[in-house]
Amino acid sequence: MFELKKTVAGLTIMTGMAGAVPAWADDGIVRHSAGKFPIASSIEVPAGASTIYLSGMGAPVQDKKADPHTLAAYGDTQAQTFAALLRIQDELKKLGLGMGDVVQMHIYMVDDPKLGKLDFDGMMKAYTQFYGTDKQLNLPVRSAFGVARLANPGWLVEIEVIAVRIPAK
């Protein structure tokens, strides 16, 4: 009887979620859509997969003439997000993985002093160059956080990801 209740409860939850039709990839990962927003609402990873945790990464210096502890060295939120995601893409490539193997992403942001607030729109403009397009439909679950400060005072953004490697069949 308990199993029946658990199954019915699970079906009730899934049918109540917007865009809850899961997408199964060839690798066995199941991504549940969050609707039109370019993230997954949840992800199921098959048994036997390896989990890879990448450390938080910010943008590399863009303007070598600027002090590397200033915003001028790294650019605005959009530029920093794009550059940080490129770094992540490069690190994943070294491991034989790609951006489609990312299952979870945390984006830490500080207020842009020029705007006096978080530049969520700028972050999304860069993010959608990697996810939610025809190029990459394997969306990660994602959280974006506003924080007081990051380790490098020139950074507006730091991103960490978790990726999954599915064993070859």
- Taking residue 2's Cβ as centre, other Cβ atoms within 10 Å add up to 6
Burial 31-56 (b: 16+ CB within 10 A, else e): bbbbeeebbbbebebeeebeebebeb
Give the span between the Cα atoms of 43 and 89, in whole angstroms: 20
Structural domain contains residue 6: no
pTM: 0.82
Structural domain contains residue 82: yes
CA 27 to chain CA mean position, Å: 19
- Its sign, for the CA torsion 161, 167, 168, 169, is negative
Mean pLDDT (whole number) for 132-141: 80
| Domain with 139 in it | 48-165
In this predicted structure, what is the pLDDT of residue 33? 83
Question: Quick check: 108 and 151 in contact, CB under 8 A?
Answer: no
Q: Which of 35-44, 94-103, 148-157 is least confident? A: 35-44
In this predicted structure, what is the pLDDT of residue 27? 66
In this predicted structure, what is the pLDDT of residue 132? 82
Mean pLDDT (whole number) for 122-136: 87
Structural domain contains residue 2: no
Give the span between the Cα atoms of 141 and 120, in whole angstroms: 17
5 has a pLDDT exceeding 70:
no
Number of domains in the chain: 1
141 has a pLDDT exceeding 90:
yes
Question: Quick check: 33 and 19 in contact, CB under 8 A?
Answer: yes
Q: Which of 4-8, 49-53, 109-113 is least confident? A: 4-8
Question: What residue ranges in 13-72 does DSSP mark as E strands?
Answer: 22-24, 30-33, 40-44, 50-57
CATH code for the domain of 103: 3.30.1330.40
Instruction: Please list the residues that pair with 50 across neighbouring strands.
Output: 165
Report the chain's mean pLDDT, rounded to a whole number. 85
Structural domain contains residue 131: yes
With cut-offs at 50, 70 and 90, classify the pLDDT of residue 89.
very high
